[in-house]
Amino acid sequence: MKIGFIGSGIMGRPMAENLLRAGHQLFVYGRRFDRIEPMLVLGALGKGTPAEVAAEADITFTVVSDTTDVEQIILGERGLVHGAKPGHIIVDMSTVSPAATRRLAAALSERGIHMLDAPVSGGEAGAKAGTLSIMVGGEAPVFEKVKPLFEVLGKSVVHVGGNGAGQVVKCCNQIVVGLTFEGVAEAILLARRNGVDPLKMREALMGGFAGSRILDVHGERMLKGNYKPGFKTKLHHKDMAIVMDNAQETATPLPGAALIAQQMNALMGAGDSELDSSAIMRVLERMVGEGK
């Protein structure tokens, strides 16, 4: 199959490069040449519009920042829909609104075009290593066609339901991640303010039920104050807005998620949008006069 790929950011570029290294032919589009140049060096062919990408490909992946971008790339004046033939599969791996995803899937279905929503978890490191967790919504037969490509990009690939279900599960992921960040940050702060070595505290917790990947990796980030982004605060902030919008649409009480949304607001307001979202530790430190 010929593959289209649109998205050359912190997640998209390494994902596209993994598909190229696996031997697949890619047709790519980017608003800036310098963002897609590394993919061209590896053998991808550049196109001038999303429509031109879709005209060449059987399957097109999109990995962009927000709902508006996805809508424009798919249905815009030069969007994929204008080049895609019936039977084409559009796989959106961005994190966007579940409601918007369902609307896009319905609009594409009317033209005989299939859509999967397949947001990911695992950050830049997972994208580079091809070890992402991929949660996929859409029709099961379409999923099966794309599954071999998903397996190039991730180590956990789960079909979670119909169109929009992947985005709902990503919302659930961001709640769990955000609340675990908060728990780890609060534990570090409490240990420190009681004169207990937070390094030793973390070591002790890693041996019990409190142990987690986030306590291991992001706990170390918090202890060192190293917030070089694997997943930027501004993206987690955007994701939590999607979570809270969905909570309002479905009348679902999410008090913990609301807290994380406000913590992300605080980071954004302090100018920390480009830091890793584990910088939630800084919000707590500022509350007690310890932060920058």
**Domain's final residue, options 162, 188, 213:** 162
Q: Are residues 47 and 158 in the same domain?
A: yes
Q: Would you say the pTM of this structure is higher than 0.85?
A: yes
Predicted confidence pLDDT, tens digits, the chain (292 residues): 799 999 988 899 999 999 999 999 999 998 888 888 889 999 999 999 999 999 999 999 999 988 999 999 999 999 999 999 999 999 999 999 999 999 999 999 999 999 999 999 988 889 999 999 999 999 999 999 999 999 999 999 999 999 999 999 999 999 999 999 999 999 999 999 999 999 999 999 999 999 999 999 999 999 999 999 888 999 999 999 999 999 999 999 999 999 999 999 999 999 999 999 999 999 999 999 987 6
282 is in which domain, residue-wise? 168-287
170 a catalytic residue: yes
Residue-wise pLDDT tens digits, 168-188:
999 999 999 999 999 999 999
Question: Is residue 283 included in any domain, yes or no?
Answer: yes
Q: Do the beta carbons of residue 272 and residue 203 sit within 8 Å? A: no
Q: Are residues 129 and 156 in the same domain?
A: yes
Cα–Cα distances in angstroms (integers) from residue 50 to residues 8, 27, 61, 93, in the given order = 13, 10, 11, 16
**Domain's final residue, options 162, 183, 212:** 162
Q: Do the beta carbons of residue 89 and residue 58 sit within 8 Å? A: yes
Q: Are residues 226 and 184 in the same domain?
A: yes
Question: Is residue 292 included in any domain, yes or no?
Answer: no
Q: How many domains does the chain have?
A: 2
Q: Are residues 144 and 197 in the same domain?
A: no
**Domain's final residue, options 162, 183, 208:** 162
pLDDT of residue 106: 97
Domain of 62, CATH number, reads 3.40.50.720
Q: Are residues 118 and 256 in the same domain?
A: no
Residue-wise pLDDT tens digits, 29-63:
988 888 888 899 999 999 999 999 999 999 999 99
Amino acid residing at 133: S
Catalytic residue among 47, 147, 155, 170: 170
138-150 b/e with 16+ CB inside 10 Å = b? bbeebbeebeebb
Q: Are residues 149 and 173 in the same domain?
A: no
Determine the Cα–Cα distance for residues 255 and 272; give it in Å rounded to an integer: 24
Q: Are residues 130 and 91 in the same domain?
A: yes
